[in-house]
Chains A and B, each alone.
Chain A
Amino acid sequence: MSDTAVADTRRLNSKPQDLTDAYGPPSNFLEIDIFNPQTVGVGRARFTTYEVRMRTNLPIFKLKESCVRRRYSDFEWLKNELERDSKIVVPPLPGKALKRQLPFRGDEGIFEESFIEERRQGLEQFINKIAGHPLAQNERCLHMFLQEEAIDRNYVPGKVHALASHCVSGCAAAKLPVVSLPST
């Protein structure tokens, strides 16, 4: 057996891909839009709500489409719940804008259009980052935030498990550790 100068670099055999897999919809479809900000109430008791619309085909979410209204403090609640219960590094929320809530401002303060738009964008980034995180998807608080009409602040925190029908059978999967880099 002579010493070959060139190594064998031929590809390993692999199963040909099923065409329905190749051209079908991907299994990772998840889109969350935050839009339609509306300011409700009068005078000092005003606050802005945003529509949070989610479309997905991930089996871990009970509803494939959902639409709820949430305000900034609801997002803060979600951030706190995740920081306490899950092991992920929660990305930052857009600012609280306390300065804008002081009196004697020349503009509309936190109801200024440009500020609401800025906040809307920040909230959209925030929720998409979180909802796509495999560990956050296990938290009840996230599902309640996205898919239930109202947030029950007296809920029992816990974990959500995916439906058994979507498990890959015979898979002795070793967990890939998930390491979340701080958001850039």
Chain B
Amino acid sequence: MSFFGFGQSVDVDILLNDADSRRRAEHKTEDGKKDKYFLFYDGETVSGKVSLALKNPNKRLEHQGIKVEFIGQIELYYDRGNHHEFVSLVKDLARPGEVTQSQAFDFEFTHVEKPYESYTGQNVKLRYFLRATISRRLNDVVKEMDIVVHTLSTYPELNSSIKMEVGIEDCLHIEFEYNKSKYHLKDVIVGKIYFLLVRIKIKHMEIDIIKRETTGTGPNVYHENDTIAKYEIMDGAPVRGESIPIRLFLAGYELTPTMRDINKKFSVRYYLNLVLIDDEERRYFKQQEVVLWRKGDIVRKSMSHQAAIASQRFEGTTPLGEARTPGPLSDSGNRQ
């Protein structure tokens, strides 16, 4: 949250109407710190007040207008000057005039479209925020409040397993299998590696989760690879016919959903990298993309009705079985 302007005679604050009931989510800032922000979903209304507190109650505040904006923007770190705003809503709160005493202005942005998930990466940032501006002749007073947006999906209709035979002719043939191709962020990767031919001396085998952030277009495409996890699945030398199981819990790692070509500006994709290392430190690897998606949590009793609707707005296909968002739980723990 930034606070611009010098020699303030007024304190500006943005407060949400449902601040007590709305959940907060942790989100990493650009410098790696983790902070909590109010969590919103696509379609939810953003309503609250902009409160002005005069520092000196006797001094009047002259201004050229007071407004509040809801902004969703993409910021490429190598091009900081240009913010790409994909959502921009504005509400005028006051016409040019004077503020003689501390007061609050109500605002409401109804059913705001928030098509993308908040993301802070290595070379790009996508953020949503409210910005209250008191326009003045010399310098404006600006107050920003960041929020975090999550995009939810439902269980995909088609989620085939990944099964492939790879290797080096006459040296190493393996068949690897992962139980799904699309995993939610708290899912478990269950799989196996089957050795068909082993003519090299393998020392150990691991699975890495790699995040690839792609920014730029055309000739200026830039990929930033980051190894999120390294997980050893085998220690020792296997022989033909051996099957090594894989069980990797994703909840332990900092992951985001797969993001494809967001507003044509960036992508975030995830890959599983299976790596075998032989006794001379030579590495043999096979990379395979997996799609990550965010599953909606079970709706709590206190969650607003609007948020319940919002969490039903899914990307992709219709859910299997009954509706994904269950009603409130009764005391006995059964669904009503």
Contacts and interface: CB of A to CB of B under 8 A. Distances in A.
Interface of A: 1-3, 7-12, 14-15, 17-18, 21-22, 24, 26-28, 30, 58-60, 129, 132-134, 137, 162, 166-168, 171-181, 183-184
A8 B333 CA distance: 22
A2 B247 contact: no
Nearest to A180: B282
Given A1-B322, A168-B173, A175 B167 contact: yes
Contacts of B28: none
B284 interface: yes
B322 A171 contact: no
A95 to B, nearest CB: 21
B201 A28 contact: yes
A28 B164 contact: no
Contacts of B172: 134, 176
A14 to B, nearest CB: 4
Given A7-B187, A11-B247, 12 more contacts: A11-B245, A14-B192, A26-B239, A27-B240, A132-B279, A137-B171, A167-B170, A173-B166, A173-B169, A177-B284, A179-B284, A181-B281
A11 B190 contact: yes
Residue from B199, B241, B245, B320 whose CB has the most chain A CB atoms within 10 Å: B199
B167 A132 contact: no
B190 A8 contact: yes
12 contacts: A1-B321, A11-B245, A15-B241, A28-B199, A59-B199, A132-B280, A134-B168, A134-B172, A137-B171, A171-B165, A173-B167, A177-B284
A58 B201 CA distance: 12
Interface of B: 164-173, 177, 179, 186-188, 190-192, 194, 196-201, 237, 239-243, 245, 247, 278-286, 298, 320-322, 324, 326, 335
Contacts of B179: 12
A53 B176 CA distance: 37
Contacts of B280: 129, 132-133, 183
B239 A179 contact: no
A10 B190 contact: yes
A71 to B, nearest CB: 24
B243 A15 contact: yes
Contacts of B298: 3
A40 B190 CA distance: 62
Contacts of A177: 284-285
Given A11-B245, A26-B239, A176-B285, A132 B168 contact: no
Nearest to A56: B199
Nearest to B274: A176
